[in-house]
Structure 1
Amino acid sequence: MRSDDARRAILVATAEQFLAKGYERLTIQGVAAEAKVGKQTIYRWWTGKAELLAECLVEGLLWDDELTVGDTGDLVRDVSDWLAGLLDVGRTGVAELLRSLLGAAAGDEALATHLDALLRGQLEGGITRRFQLGRERGEVAEEVDTVLATDLLLGLVMVRTLTRRPSTTAEVEALVRRLLAP
């Protein structure tokens, strides 16, 4: 197997194993078996499972387009829909993925950095970028602290995800409106 093929097979196997088993039950041996490579091949490129997961995040193997902030021209709706998606409102499995990622990120700085970058995202699809566009379009007043709003919204996601406390779309939308009000 060529190294590019092996690398891709390892990342796909990692994502599949993580999604099926969660972080705690994810093993390098299981990934190696599914990818049909030796453990030494994995350790040649990555130091462990947290680093593998971080690369899976970067490669888009754990986070799909439905989990990015949309741009319909309505900032409140776009951010509310994104948050509702993260909080499993109307969609199952996302909260479980986040719970596992948060648990893994708590013990690994590199993975935490990647998860933070993914959630905040300066690039298209991230909340920071969507707030920037909103400000440029006049949807967000200058006096609104979008960094603080982002932290508060992500804090809500983390607490609700970890405590398994349900959210509603109406509740999320009301919070976003309040945070973005001048």
Structure 2
Amino acid sequence: MSGLQRGRPRSAHAHQAVLAAAVELLTSGGYQRLTMEAIAAKAGVGKQTVYRWWPSKAAIVAEAVLSGHLAAAASPLAETGDVVTDLRDWLSGQLARLTDPSSTALLRGLTAAAAESDDDAAKLYERFTGPFRQYVVRRLAIGVQQGQLRPDARLDAAADFVIGALIYRTLTHGNLSGQGGVDDLIEVLLAGLGPRPGTTATSPG
């Protein structure tokens, strides 16, 4: 947990009110306009109470977002037997979630918070970026086993490529939400992972 454990024990109701207030203000106004004072006023608690429980707005944002908002967006890739279809459907689904204005605001706020704190950056990877990456690596490994991808494919690097593109497009309003954008990304990815010319492999369809 990002907050400081000092003074009187936290009221569970006040604690949740502060986190909910941070999410609402972050969604409506963005990270730069978010202040500890505004969070306290929105939550209906004293400013000193907020400062006693959390050292900064970054700590509040990291806890609020990672306690059940963006973390819920991570989901495993389907295993239909067609790695191309599974990657396409998964990327399209994640983009639909993350490019929703509310999710975009939360991801931007979390990224800003992580930039201010190594501890929050570690939590960002552990609870958000890491699970996304693991799901992609796992699905690509199955593609290797099924002969759809090269046995010497660099799966970790490929997963970094996918997750990096996903987050970049979300943070910068890049147009990857259309099917053409997703297909282009997968085409570039598979150009590095697909079977080399002259080798035998099962066609992904």
Same fold (TM over 0.5): yes
Identity of aligned residues (%): 31
Query: Aligned partners of 2:98 and 2:172: how far apart in 1?
Result: 18
Name 1:26's counterpart in structure 2: 34
Contact 2:62/2:110 (<8 A) preserved: no
Give a deviation string over 1:95-153, Cα, whole Å, max 9, x none.
Answer: 454344333433332332222221122xxxx3314523653683566533222122222
| TM-score relative to the length of structure 1 | 0.75
Contact 2:26/2:105 (<8 A) preserved: no
Name 2:164's counterpart in structure 1: 155
2:133 to 127, 130, 133: 127
Give a deviation string over 1:52-71, Cα, whole Å, max 9, x none.
Answer: 1111132113x163x31343
Contact 2:78/2:90 (<8 A) preserved: no
Name 1:71's counterpart in structure 2: 77
Deviation for aligned residue 1:161: 4.1
Query: Aligned partners of 1:78 and 1:86: how far apart in 2?
Result: 12
Decide whether aligned partners of structure 1 residues 153 and 129 sit closer, same or farther in structure 2, where only a CA change above 3 A counts. closer
Deviation for aligned residue 1:42: 1.4
Report 1:31-180 matches (<5 A): 31-61=39-69, 63=70, 65=72, 67-74=73-80, 75-85=83-93, 87=95, 91-93=99-101, 94-117=103-126, 118-121=128-131, 126-132=132-138, 135=141, 138=145, 142-167=151-176, 168-178=181-191, 180=193
Name 2:22's counterpart in structure 1: 14
